[in-house]
Structure 1
Amino acid sequence: MIRPLIASLAALVLTACASVPAGPAAPSSDLAPLTVRIIGINDFHGNLLPHKRKSDAGPLTPDGRAIDAPVGGAAVLATAVRQLRAQNSDSLVISAGDLISASPLVSSLFLDEPSIGVMNRIGLEFNAVGNHELDRGWQELLRMQNGGCEQFGLREPCQVENPFEGADFPFLAANVTRPDGSLLLPAYGIRHFGSGEREVAVAVIGLPLRGVPALVSPTGIEGLNFGDEADAINALVPKLLDEGADAIIVAIHQGFEADGYYDSGDDCGGAIGPLNDILKRLDPRVDLVISGHTHRYFICEYSQFDPTRDFLVTSTGYGSGMVADLVVTIDPAKHDVRVKAAEMVIVQSEDPNFRRFAPDPEIAAYVAQYEQASRAAAERPVGRISGPAREDGWENALGNMIADAQLAATRANGAQIAFMNEGGVRTDLVPETADGTVTFAQIYAVQPFGNVLMTMDLTGAQIAAALEQQFTVPDAPEVLSVSDGFTYRLDRTKPVGQRVSDMRLDGTPIVSDARYRVTVNSFLAGGGDRFTVFAEPENKTIGPVDLDSFEAWIDGEGGRALPATDRITLIGG
């Protein structure tokens, strides 16, 4: 029967396990199956401290309440993982990517070195490369793996720990190759459990989504090739079986688009999202899939969607507010793998209505070093705004404010128009004081990537083409915020090439063959988010860092009023 997350986990207060049908009985064996506990996480994003993100947990209590306490945080996560692992002598902790980047100041200010340090201490064993692992380029990713203090960007490494030792666990990227065809990082790893005739080998394949090039700065991944995910996995399955693997786990940074906890009779919510396109082509000999990227939470029995593929698929939301606790049995003689129990565990220490995990003192002390090092920067006031600036809606005040800041910062380079991508705006900007003061930590959370601004010449026709590229993926448009003075009409009901009309600059119509000076961040200037038009001009004028520009704008004129949201006239709903 269908057993949704709200009912099953609320009733069990997230402490009991939901049974997963075992399927047909395996042939009898003289050797007892070996039990291995698999703990899955994804999208940690450097959340060293607990955070309020109720959408991760959903309404879980019997009366429909969401958990009313911070979730996640490295110290609480460490205790949760330790206690779960203690229930079995054999266990494995696997991450499905985005451990780092797009992270809070306490981690991002230090190039996410403390997030790697935390995961070393927690005992993470494998991490699939996610798109955000490549935000600072492939060379910096290799530094995360191997350690060292070589500087590849604007921010200085090894500010607290010198030298930075790198990750004790491997980053896995089975579908990422260099120009000569060699892998950038290992494709898989194998762990052995048990001994003698009961020894089993568990193989873990890890990989990012092949769409990484559209999600990171192209210059940071120049020369790399991101291959088809299913092809990469399927090519490895027979190789791993030949090497003696008894179980094969896939950790993939791609996911579904719906939340839920699915049991017998359900169809995994229709398996909505790009992950399904991969799974329906996957070798049926895969035993378990740990996913991420979409920040959704689910435990999905995929055989109900496709009976030929009898594996479980998990994802645990965002920031390690939850972990997936999976009990797997492996028959050492028949290589038969069964997930006997699966539970979504909330990582929290305060709400008595749910299982609580006391913060691990060693991890808490380690994180405190970085809190102290970041405090002066984090608490520094940078200016005042007139009210909460949020990132919701087709057009919003926060995106417009950032575009205005970038235009002002590049006026000296001739800029007339600025565009800001919605994916580069990571959170709302909400003053915590009555006078509207915001801190560096707050604006850093909004723009954590350290992109530089680039100004270029574009014709009116190119500007229209760039705005049409907001719909490169029709079901998931990437909306650009626009700077003050630029307006246009957007009709989503029109066919491709006709959606954008009536473009104006300071009230004057944009001329198709006239040239205009346009500013975007370096991510967009390299063709990021599929805005290839911005990559066309060869001569671009480099300006200041985006965050510096935002700070200067907020600090100007004794504070800033939120801009109006009247620059895009939306037609067609």
Structure 2
Amino acid sequence: MAFTGRDKTWLRGPRAVGLLAAGAAVVLGLATGGTVTQAAPAKPKPTHTQIQLLSINDFHGNLAPNPATSSSGNVNGTPAGGAEYLATQLEMLRASAKAQGQETATVAAGDLIGASPLLSAAFHDEPTIEAMNEMGLDATSVGNHEFDEGWHELLRMQKGGCLNDGDGQNNQNSCPDPKNEFKGADFEYLSANVFYENTKKTLFRPYTVKKFKDGQKVAFIGMTLENTPNIVTKSGIAGLTFTDEVATANALVPELRKQGIESIVVLLHEGGFPSDPKAYNSCPGISGPVTEIAKNLDPAIDAVLTGHTHAAYNCSINDPANKPRLVTSASSFGKIVTEVRLSIDNATHDVDRLNTLANNKIVTQDVPKDPALTKLITKYQTLVAPIESKVIGHITTPTVVRTNDDSLESPLGNLIADAQLADTSAVTNGKTPVVAFMNPGGIRGDLASNGGAVTFGQAFTVQPFNNYLVSMDMTGTQIKALLEQQFSGLNGPEAPKFKVLQVAGITYTWNPAAAAGSKVVPGSIKIAGQPLVDSTTYRIVTNNFLSDGGDGFPAFTTATDKFFGGLDIDGFANYLTAHDPYTPVATDRISIGS
């Protein structure tokens, strides 16, 4: 089946594949081993076809620019991002390539939607899909956040159609303009390592092939991280399986080569961590999952464009044949776009890596705004205003911050946990929760105010996932195991950082010097001021993401008598209304000791 859009013709790969893959493509350098920055600019060869790739990742529905004073709105102090500027920068880069006789493909490495600001989230991220259509995106891998509202909803993002969601009754409104139905994505989602259970069918096609002039073809394999089931809500991926990234991609290489395709790029929603986060156009000391993935992807794969970690890097990691291969990432929120110049040998139809270059370009705001994006943003700003501007309460400080103290407890974490504990929607059969747990990764920003007044939009910025509250029974022994999982397993010493849960109704002490599995000080755990009893059953409440064992907390999956309540954002908003004005409380629930 052929697909024509933006004057680009794509050949789509079959849904049925064997094993699955992982990866993403972008940058090359000169190296004899290890990870290095890319080589100095190479001179294009007349025997090669030069092709421009433009790549973004982790946009997360950030249509409007973020404040330049926040980390989400600048790169090394330079104001950056915003869909209007990103669209202009993409067009400028394409025009420059066209002037040099080069064709362009625009791709992404996942998380374009999900965990989005209210401007997009209030409309189920339909505005972001429309924006990507306007920007001329050709293909993207799925990311973990593409599953935030479930895979059925992700299919709607691709195919279009409207939801019957009550016309904004729950602070969301699909197809708010009754004259215009949501048409879905013009670009193609790719999911090589996401399968329907017990089948060989992928959720979306595993790869797509772009035909360029001079008979050149480039295949793009799209994947998300194999660990997706551990970091998304289980209900959102029920009926799906996720396979190993390397095995998936490598299994597709012979299939592509049988079609005469030698130039292969991976769009991988998994990434790494440079030792210097400011070195956005190199990759000093890069670590993380992408390093091992890149080292093991088939040497026939020519570049890997990555995402997920919100880092920016541009470097080479040697392949199994000890040859340098481009690996890039474009930060997040549309602050950076990666430009790659693939140099393809006209005789072999393969990428000449030593003449393939990449550049991470900051999406500066010193260019004209794209008028089509301005029109789209203005439309949805008008539509979201009644939802966003509603004042739900007041705070007695300018902000309530998510900044942790030494014990990794935060004022905002306490507020959210208190709100969960106070929410009556999760009470069932007279069983009221006495402890609440909140994952720190679900707190997406400080709670700001306008002269003390807090709007629903400001609250939503803090909790944008629309998770449900879930109450359940856990024994004292299970709670002990849960607390130790903050410092072990997926959250152990090898993890980027501990994931200390924010709590209400419980206090305890932990010892950073103790071994993993024994960090919680014996006898320190108290619930409602009373020592924890191993054999006693306690009613606790958390969100459905944690309830499913997300973020490396499988102890939640052992709980019993689970009951689903309302949305966490509604509980948060109601708590602020009921405690108006709210004064932040001391961070004295978790302590450091020995």
Between the aligned partners of 1:232 and 1:140, the Cα distance in structure 2 is 25
Between the aligned partners of 1:52 and 1:344, the Cα distance in structure 2 is 21
The one of 93, 97, 103 equivalent to 1:88 is: 97
Could you tell me which residue of structure 2 aligns to residue 113 of structure 1?
126
- 1:403 pairs with 2:444: no
Between the aligned partners of 1:552 and 1:56, the Cα distance in structure 2 is 28
Secondary structure at the counterpart of residue 236 of structure 2: helix
Given residue 378 of structure 1, which amino acid in structure 2 is its aligned partner? Answer: E
1:56 CA displacement: 6.7
Residue ranges of structure 2 left out of the alignment (5+ in a row): 1-37
Q: Is the 8 A contact 2:299 2:320 kept in 1?
A: no
Between the aligned partners of 1:57 and 1:550, the Cα distance in structure 2 is 26
Between the aligned partners of 2:104 and 2:380, the Cα distance in structure 1 is 30
The correspondence of residues 49-198 of structure 1 with structure 2, limited to 5 A, is 49-52=64-67, 55=71, 66-67=77-78, 69=79, 71-89=80-98, 90-150=103-163, 155-160=172-177, 162-181=180-199, 182-194=201-213, 198=214
1:270 CA displacement: 3.1
Between the aligned partners of 2:75 and 2:463, the Cα distance in structure 1 is 30
Could you tell me which residue of structure 1 aligns to residue 9 of structure 2?
none
Given residue 486 of structure 1, which amino acid in structure 2 is its aligned partner? Answer: I
Give the direction of change, closer, same or farther, for the CA distance of 1:528–1:160 in structure 2 (3 Å limit).
Answer: farther
Between the aligned partners of 1:239 and 1:170, the Cα distance in structure 2 is 20
Give the direction of change, closer, same or farther, for the CA distance of 1:440–1:142 in structure 2 (3 Å limit).
Answer: same
1:465 CA displacement: 1.0
Between the aligned partners of 1:49 and 1:111, the Cα distance in structure 2 is 16
User: Taking every aligned residue pair, what percent have the same amino acid on both sides?
Assistant: 39
Q: Is the 8 A contact 2:434 2:528 kept in 1?
A: no
TM-score normalised by length of structure 1: 0.87
Given residue 239 of structure 1, which amino acid in structure 2 is its aligned partner? Answer: E
Secondary structure at the counterpart of residue 539 of structure 1: strand
Residue ranges of structure 1 left out of the alignment (5+ in a row): 1-17, 61-65, 350-355
Could you tell me which residue of structure 2 aligns to residue 13 of structure 1?
none
Could you tell me which residue of structure 2 aligns to residue 40 of structure 1?
55
1:150 CA displacement: 4.0
Between the aligned partners of 2:512 and 2:412, the Cα distance in structure 1 is 23
Secondary structure at the counterpart of residue 294 of structure 1: coil
The correspondence of residues 346-361 of structure 1 with structure 2, limited to 5 A, is 346-349=362-365, 356-361=366-371
Could you tell me which residue of structure 1 aligns to residue 26 of structure 2?
none
Give the direction of change, closer, same or farther, for the CA distance of 1:107–1:56 in structure 2 (3 Å limit).
Answer: closer
1:311 CA displacement: 1.6
1:310 CA displacement: 2.2
The correspondence of residues 514-525 of structure 1 with structure 2, limited to 5 A, is 514-525=536-547
1:19 CA displacement: 5.7
Secondary structure at the counterpart of residue 561 of structure 2: coil
Secondary structure at the counterpart of residue 428 of structure 1: coil
Q: Is the 8 A contact 1:260 1:299 kept in 2?
A: no
Could you tell me which residue of structure 2 aligns to residue 529 of structure 1?
551
The correspondence of residues 152-551 of structure 1 with structure 2, limited to 5 A, is 155-160=172-177, 162-181=180-199, 182-194=201-213, 198-258=214-274, 259=277, 261=279, 268-303=283-318, 308-338=322-352, 339-349=355-365, 356-387=366-397, 388-393=399-404, 394-410=408-424, 412-413=427-428, 414-433=432-451, 436-470=452-486, 471-473=488-490, 474=492, 475-476=494-495, 477-483=498-504, 485-500=505-520, 501=522, 502-551=524-573
Between the aligned partners of 2:247 and 2:87, the Cα distance in structure 1 is 35
CA RMSD of aligned residues (A): 2.4
Between the aligned partners of 1:311 and 1:21, the Cα distance in structure 2 is 15
Between the aligned partners of 2:556 and 2:204, the Cα distance in structure 1 is 30
Secondary structure at the counterpart of residue 91 of structure 1: strand
Q: Is the 8 A contact 1:19 1:342 kept in 2?
A: no
1:461 CA displacement: 0.8
Between the aligned partners of 1:132 and 1:463, the Cα distance in structure 2 is 28
1:540 CA displacement: 1.6
Q: Is the 8 A contact 1:287 1:310 kept in 2?
A: no
Between the aligned partners of 1:35 and 1:144, the Cα distance in structure 2 is 33
Between the aligned partners of 1:340 and 1:296, the Cα distance in structure 2 is 22
Q: Is the 8 A contact 1:554 1:560 kept in 2?
A: yes
Q: Is the 8 A contact 2:474 2:560 kept in 1?
A: no
Give the direction of change, closer, same or farther, for the CA distance of 1:59–1:524 in structure 2 (3 Å limit).
Answer: closer
Deviations 1:198-224 (A, max 9, x none): 210011001000010111101111121
1:269 CA displacement: 2.4
Q: Is the 8 A contact 1:521 1:546 kept in 2?
A: yes
Could you tell me which residue of structure 2 aligns to residue 63 of structure 1?
none
| Higher alpha-carbon deviation: 148-157 or 210-219 | 148-157
Secondary structure at the counterpart of residue 558 of structure 1: coil
Given residue 217 of structure 2, which amino acid in structure 1 is its aligned partner? Answer: A
Give the direction of change, closer, same or farther, for the CA distance of 1:306–1:432 in structure 2 (3 Å limit).
Answer: farther
Secondary structure at the counterpart of residue 124 of structure 2: coil
Between the aligned partners of 1:296 and 1:126, the Cα distance in structure 2 is 21
Between the aligned partners of 1:495 and 1:141, the Cα distance in structure 2 is 42
Between the aligned partners of 1:286 and 1:373, the Cα distance in structure 2 is 45
Deviations 1:202-255 (A, max 9, x none): 110010000101111011111211100011111111211221224111110011
1:412 CA displacement: 4.7
Give the direction of change, closer, same or farther, for the CA distance of 1:503–1:379 in structure 2 (3 Å limit).
Answer: same
Given residue 365 of structure 1, which amino acid in structure 2 is its aligned partner? Answer: K
Aligned residue pairs: how many?
528
Given residue 95 of structure 2, which amino acid in structure 1 is its aligned partner? Answer: A
1:260 CA displacement: 5.7
